[in-house]
Amino acid sequence: FLKVKSDTELLVTTLKSLMKDNPGRVFAGRGGSWGKNFQIAETAYFMYLSANGIPTVLWLPETWSNNSDTEQYFSEDVPDHYSLYNIRYVVAPPSQSPQPFWKLVKENPSWKLYGVQLQTSNLNNPISNFQYSISTFSYISAGSSPSIVFSDKLSFGNVIRLWIQSPYPGKGIFPELRLTGKKSASQGQAFGSYFSAIPNFAMVDEATYRTPDGKTHSLFAQPPQYMTPWEWPEAYPQIHLPSPSATYSGALAKNKKISNYINILSQSSDTDMVFRATVEVKEQCPTCVVVLKETYHPSWSAFIRKISDDERGEPVESITVNGKKVKTINVFPSFVGVRLEEPGTYKVVFSYTPSKLKILLMIASGVLLIVAGVIFIKYRPQ
């Protein structure tokens, strides 16, 4: 370790410097591929970097969550997968052949540091110009959630795998995942009021799904399609038709894309637990969603405030937005999302707060520890 100590310290220092202006995750290989032998002494780089406060991905302690199985379908040769998981940096051994979109930032005899670049920029001075090559990456993104998928906890792996390996992540399409009981999902009892609102289906098992008409389909022979309102306006006549008597015209969907409806104007993060963004919804959009690329958990909250040109200020927790109760949703692969439908500019803050039960348990543990210490000191042998 002492032989490469200065090299590893330089790597950590360089990454932390880059992340001040361009936060993102680091890919340092996998335990089942070249990452296994990419080590400092006997410690893999992905473990060493994580222990030093660098957010790494695709290794065991980072996968004890809803993303545990499906993130393994990340492909290091697919650029969209880096954007999906906000992987901005790659650390690899000097002998590892880089992907075409890995752009060298810095190197020494122990490692090479790359930036993931999905657009052309001048890298004559990689460190100073690096922010321009990664402007498409972020922890918060805007997209469309045009479908709802009901599933129990054991049946969603394949449907998310097919989604990850499709063009949908690159198009900004994030179906909503609703976890239900096995019986509810398999018998189609979960559809409820969503039948008339947003297209949906329920997973019967890992390879079969049921649509609201009661028909079952093979997931692999008939993979589901996730169509946005601008691709399938007939499914959203309340938005795209001027009146109930009007008829659909294909021109309504021509040349439309997500950026025509919703955009992230700015964003920042205070800590790993607080992420902020200013979001613009340009047109009425029944499926627009703001996505935080952190694993979904009910303890994530969305704080939203709609602002106008003459109204500015910090966001406050809102009981209602657009006349509806604010709540986060679980979107593919298992990220935190919040729906925004009506035109306007919004301040959105995602924050994580432990549940009251966890806080109570922490307090109780502290009290018990103090009591145990007092008893030990009082009755210890003299």
pLDDT per position as a tens digit, 218-267: 999 999 999 888 777 776 655 544 444 444 444 345 557 888 899 999 99
Q: What angle do CA 274, 75, 268 make, to 5 degrees?
A: 20
Mean pLDDT of the chain: 81
35: left (phi over 0), alpha (psi -120 to 50) or beta: alpha
For the domain made up of 258-352, the CATH class stated in words is mainly beta
Q: What is the mean pLDDT of residues 6-27?
A: 94
Distance (Å, rounded) from C-alpha 105 to C-alpha 342? Answer: 42
Over residues 149-183, the pLDDT tens digits come to 999 999 999 999 999 999 999 999 999 999 987 66
How many CB atoms sit inside 10 A of residue 143's CB? 22
Q: What is the mean pLDDT of residues 321-346?
A: 84
User: Please, are residues 114 and 105 in contact by the beta-carbon 8 Å criterion?
Assistant: yes
Over residues 338-357, the pLDDT tens digits come to 999 889 999 999 998 876 66
For residue 180, the model assigns a pLDDT of 85
For residue 237, the model assigns a pLDDT of 59
Distance (Å, rounded) from C-alpha 361 to C-alpha 216? Answer: 45
Going by pLDDT thresholds of 50, 70 and 90, the confidence category of residue 365 is confident
Which long-range CB contacts under 8 A does 62-71 form with residues at least 24 apart?
65/295, 65/334, 66/295, 66/296, 66/330, 66/333, 66/334, 67/295, 67/333, 67/334, 69/157, 70/157, 70/160, 70/161, 70/164, 70/333, 70/334, 71/333
User: Kind and range of the H or E element at 102?
Assistant: strand 102-108
User: Please, are residues 94 and 107 in contact by the beta-carbon 8 Å criterion?
Assistant: yes
Task: Report which DSSP code applies to 173.
Answer: B
Phi, psi at 362, each rounded to 5°:
-65, -45
Over residues 45-61, the pLDDT tens digits come to 999 999 999 999 876 65
Give the residue, 320 or 276, on which the prediction is more confident. 276
For residue 250, the model assigns a pLDDT of 42
Distance (Å, rounded) from C-alpha 342 to C-alpha 339? Answer: 10
For residue 42, the model assigns a pLDDT of 87
**Among 216, 189, 215, which Cα is nearest to 205's?**
216
For residue 249, the model assigns a pLDDT of 44
How many CB atoms sit inside 10 A of residue 305's CB? 17
Distance (Å, rounded) from C-alpha 149 to C-alpha 199? Answer: 9
How do the domains of the chain map onto residue ranges? 5-137, 141-253, 258-352
**Among 159, 148, 153, which Cα is nearest to 190's?**
148
For residue 368, the model assigns a pLDDT of 80
User: Please, are residues 359 and 307 in contact by the beta-carbon 8 Å criterion?
Assistant: no
Q: In one letter, which amino acid is 308?
A: S
Q: What angle do CA 39, 42, 47 make, to 5 degrees?
A: 60
Percent of the chain with pLDDT over 70: 77
